Amino acid sequence: MAKGQTYPAESQVYGDERTGATIRQVTNAPAIHHHPFFMIPAYDDAMQWTIFASTRTGKPQIFAEVRATGDLLQLTDRDDLGDWSIHPSHDGRYVYFTAGTGGWRINIQTLEEEQLVNFGDVALREKGMVAAAMGTTALSTDDRWWAIKYNIGNEACLSITDTQTGKSEIILRRDTIAHLQFCPDDPNLLFYAGPLTDRVWVINRDGTGNRRLYQRQPHEWITHETWIPGSRELAFVDWPHGVRCIQVDTGVERRVCSFNAWHAVSSPDGRLMVADTNFPDIGVHICDPRDGIGAPITLCFPGATNRGAHWAGPFPYANGPIEVYAPQHTHPHPSFSPDNRFILLTSDRTGYAQIYEVRVPV
């Protein structure tokens, strides 16, 4: 149970009892498994690997499913891994992650670990279970730029690291910075989530152009932003009323769908969107994010416990942050494969959080 160990394939295939969708359970050990957060790819572009985190050795470590054989390869053996920070490179060479107070990457073939940046006396995650507490990172689609958020005291800092030179610089300092994602059509543009009451922001990679893209109304619960490829539109969940989006260059806003999409993300080709649901959990749905209707088609029923009772009521953060119990490995967080043919999700339906891959029927 150490770095470099290979575990026999645990894969098993079955059909969803209600929809008939073909589902492959990737992991089966009695431990917590989860793939990267929903807006972060779990695969390299060539789909040599499926990257996920597992606690089967006692603490969270990075694993890769070798897709050619189904074997599971343990990539790390660390005490300080930020398991929600992991981001595979698109070229299949590395997995980027934070650990301790620095940013690292590991070569999947050689298992060589390299520290790209050490931030010093900082906190890479805030307290809690959601938003800035998760410590997600973002990698541009050309694998050149890596965005990491960290805190110095009460100040949140957004840094950009050049993965070729290792040079890192802070491009923004403000009160709160949470999830990040580079625009898939522009490596010089990224979104970041601001405070829970003022979420939707975009900024250029060099720190210019920092601006609020959407002004939240007092009654709204705006969350879970992600880009729609090919459109330069940033989608966001208007919980629980559906998904809307804004074109960053024109400011034109439109509706994407009107069902209770929870974590919603588009396919790499921009033709489909997938979302899990909650309160009520009516399964994972796919829809067309382009037609302004987004009529949902039920894909499968993951059966995850979806912990987080605060999602059942109105916006709970109007008077500031609150303590919530929402372990993220109990959420499906569906996301697409690079070839648009599969959706990866996590479910703790068996009592342990496992990774599942669902074939897209359209």
User: In angstroms, rounded to a whole number, what is the distance separating the alpha carbons of residues 236 and 226?
Assistant: 6
User: In angstroms, rounded to a whole number, what is the distance separating the alpha carbons of residues 268 and 312?
Assistant: 31
- 3-class secondary structure, 273: strand
Residue 362 — very low, low, confident or very high, per pLDDT cuts 50/70/90?
Answer: confident
pLDDT of residue 358 exceeding 90:
yes
- The dihedral over CA atoms of 284, 289, 293, 295, expressed in degrees to the nearest 10, equals -30
Instruction: Express the helix, strand and coil content of the chain in percent, nearest 5 each.
Output: 5, 40, 55
Segment 317-345 shows an average pLDDT of 96
User: In angstroms, rounded to a whole number, what is the distance separating the alpha carbons of residues 84 and 232?
Assistant: 26
pLDDT of residue 1 exceeding 70:
no
User: In angstroms, rounded to a whole number, what is the distance separating the alpha carbons of residues 73 and 51?
Assistant: 10
pLDDT of residue 155 exceeding 90:
yes
Helix (H) or strand (E) holding 49: strand 49-54
pLDDT of residue 265 exceeding 80:
yes
User: In angstroms, rounded to a whole number, what is the distance separating the alpha carbons of residues 274 and 284?
Assistant: 7
The end-to-end CA distance of the chain, in Å, is: 40
Segment 328-345 shows an average pLDDT of 98
What CATH number does domain 6-359 carry, 3.40.50.300, 2.130.10.10, 3.40.140.10, 3.40.50.720?
2.130.10.10
Give the pLDDT confidence of 268-325 residue by residue, as tens digits: 999 999 999 999 999 999 999 999 999 999 999 999 999 999 999 999 999 988 999 9
pTM of the model: 0.97
Nearest to 257 by CA among 225, 223, 289: 289
> Residue 12: is it exposed, middle or buried by C-beta count within 10 angstroms (0-12/13-18/19+)?
exposed
